[in-house]
Amino acid sequence: MTATIQDAAALDARDSLAPLRERFHIPDELIYLDGNSLGMMPKHVPERVQNAMTAQWGTDLIRSWNTHGWIDLPARVGAQIARLIGAEAHEVIACDSISVNLFKLLSAALKLRPDRRVIVSDIDNFPTDLYIAEGINAMLGGQYELRFVKRDRLEAAIRDDVAVVMLTEVDYRTGERIDMKALTARTHAVGALTIWDLAHSAGAFPVRLNDCNADFAVGCGYKYLNGGPGAPAFLMVAERHLGTAMPVLSGWMGHAAPFAFDPAYTPDSTVRRLTAGTPSVIGMTALEAALEVFDDVDMNALRQKSLALTDLFMELMQPLEAQYGFKLVTPRDHARRGSQVSYTHADGYAIMQALIETKVIGDFRAPDIVRFGFTPLYTSFQDVENAVKRLTEVMSTRRYAEPRFQVKAKVT
Ligand SMILES: Cc1ncc(COP(=O)(O)O)c(C=O)c1O
């Protein structure tokens, strides 16, 4: 499906994924272009959470760990996510947050390369990724070089002194997608290991971790997986590392026999060794239910729709670039694009606030980026057309210049 400017309604009529939109709760008139921050709620999720609360927690209480399979939720949810990210079910587990999972995987990966003292990342990576590397290095007495470089210097930075290359596949600000396969191959050629952050990839397009020979990965449940605010995250360990990746957060849930209450720690032989404490059952229940929307989704069709939506948006935005000074920072090249489109604009924050008032929700990232996320499960082509119409109105009336739109909220 290649979109040019044509009737959005006709594109929707031809869209094989269009019926999925019905499965989401979409408030009246709302055009939601922020699924790259917090996905929309599938309609069936509240009932499932309600059941976990009242029947499972309220009535069955502690028995539910066995009778309702709470204890296996992390592995079950991990298996659901595995298909979306090109991994095997037994390589993925749902747990904690991306930050905590990065801590676990980076510490484990560094131990697999004991003779090397360099961690490579992109200086424009999401800050938590960089902070976690800094924290681990500080804990280890500052013995590592944190080689954080601009994206165009990455290849050159990956040399034979490197232990781990830690990268995010899709840039959270620009939506640029980097070449996982090529960078993983480059990393392996120098004998180092990769950790991929899939925050803006999982559920947005088919990720191919094993096809790329990736070593480790993390991702979150609350963006394109629609698991709800603060949903559990996930981690992936390639099968070849399952027996050797040693947990630093050696909690009882990662023990080979948690209910043996052995005073000494023995890691489980499966990916469960990378979990630490009791899983968040309510959050996992919401994520497990939300993931069912993907059950029959052809991920290649999802990618085609994502590209068609973002193509159409870029095309309809072109007059606004010329007239109002928006500057596109997302690559036009399909291979280098995730599922969001971003522009810089000096008045970006106020423009986004004014746009939100017209019920088109995107978001803003400092210093000057407005972001629009496209979720093929529920974004329609008419959403794209109407969003640009409302933005045109905000710009032509200069409504964004009103002082109330300048007031910065805690969360942008
Ligand atoms: C690329 C990336 N990594 C990590 C995070 C933060 O993850 P968490 O809050 O689950 O630690 C985000 C949040 O938006 C992100 O975009």
The closest alpha carbon to 146, from 126, 167, 125, 120, belongs to: 120
- Catalytic residue selected from 32, 126, 148, 405: 126
Confidence class for position 370, pLDDT limits 50, 70, 90: very high
- Residue 164 CB less than 6 A away from ligand 1: no
Listed in sequence order, the DSSP H helices in 86-164 are 98-112, 127-139, 154-157
Measured CA to CA, the distance from residue 224 to residue 338 in angstroms comes to 12
Confidence class for position 411, pLDDT limits 50, 70, 90: confident
Percentage with pLDDT > 70 across the chain: 99
What atom in ligand 1 is closest to the CA of residue 101? 11
Quote the pLDDT of residue 4.
Answer: 54
368: pLDDT strictly greater than 80? yes
- Residue 365 CB less than 6 A away from ligand 1: no
- Catalytic residue selected from 371, 374, 381, 405: 371
Mean pLDDT of the chain: 97
- Catalytic residue selected from 34, 171, 197, 363: 197
404: pLDDT strictly greater than 90? yes
Give the pair of three-digit tokens for residue 131. Answer: 């902070």
- pLDDT tens track for 242-297: 999 999 999 999 999 999 999 999 999 999 999 999 999 999 999 999 999 999 99
- Residue 128 CB less than 6 A away from ligand 1: yes
Quote the pLDDT of residue 408.
Answer: 85
The closest alpha carbon to 313, from 201, 128, 175, 206, belongs to: 175
- pLDDT tens track for 386-399: 999 999 999 999 99
Burial classification of residue 117, based on how many CB atoms lie within 10 Å of its CB (0-12 exposed, 13-18 middle, 19 or more buried): middle
- pLDDT tens track for 20-38: 999 999 999 999 999 999 9
Q: Which of 96, 105, 124, 172 to mutate to test the pocket of ligand 1 (most atoms within 8 A of CB)?
A: 172
Quote the pLDDT of residue 393.
Answer: 97
User: What are the φ/ψ torsions at residue 119 (nearest 5 degrees)?
Assistant: -115, 125
Tokens 């191919």: give the residue: 208
- Catalytic residue selected from 116, 173, 177, 223: 223
Give Cβ neighbours of residue 259 (< 8 Å, ≥ 6 apart): none
Quote the pLDDT of residue 409.
Answer: 85
Give Cβ neighbours of residue 263 (< 8 Å, ≥ 6 apart): none
Active site (annotated) includes residue 223: yes
Give the pair of three-digit tokens for residue 123. Answer: 């200086």
The closest alpha carbon to 247, from 263, 221, 223, 267, belongs to: 267
Question: Cα angle at 295 between 289 and 298, to 5 degrees?
Answer: 145
Give the pair of three-digit tokens for residue 173. Answer: 């600000």
Q: Could you tell me whether strands 216-219 and 193-197 are parallel, antiparallel, or unpaired per DSSP bridges?
A: parallel
The closest alpha carbon to 166, from 133, 196, 136, belongs to: 196
The closest alpha carbon to 119, from 156, 96, 386, 109, belongs to: 109
Burial classification of residue 357, based on how many CB atoms lie within 10 Å of its CB (0-12 exposed, 13-18 middle, 19 or more buried): middle
The closest alpha carbon to 232, from 15, 81, 122, belongs to: 81
Q: Which of 38, 102, 126 to mutate to test the pocket of ligand 1 (most atoms within 8 A of CB)?
A: 126
Quote the pLDDT of residue 5.
Answer: 56
Q: Please provide the DSSP assignment of 209-267 as one string.
A: TTTTT--EEEE-SSSTT---TT---EEEE-GGGTTT---SS--GGGBS-GGG--SS--B
2: pLDDT strictly greater than 50? no
- Residue 204 CB less than 6 A away from ligand 1: no
The residue whose CA is least distant from atom 8 of ligand 1 is 98
Quote the pLDDT of residue 412.
Answer: 77
Contact 286, 231 (CB under 8 A): yes
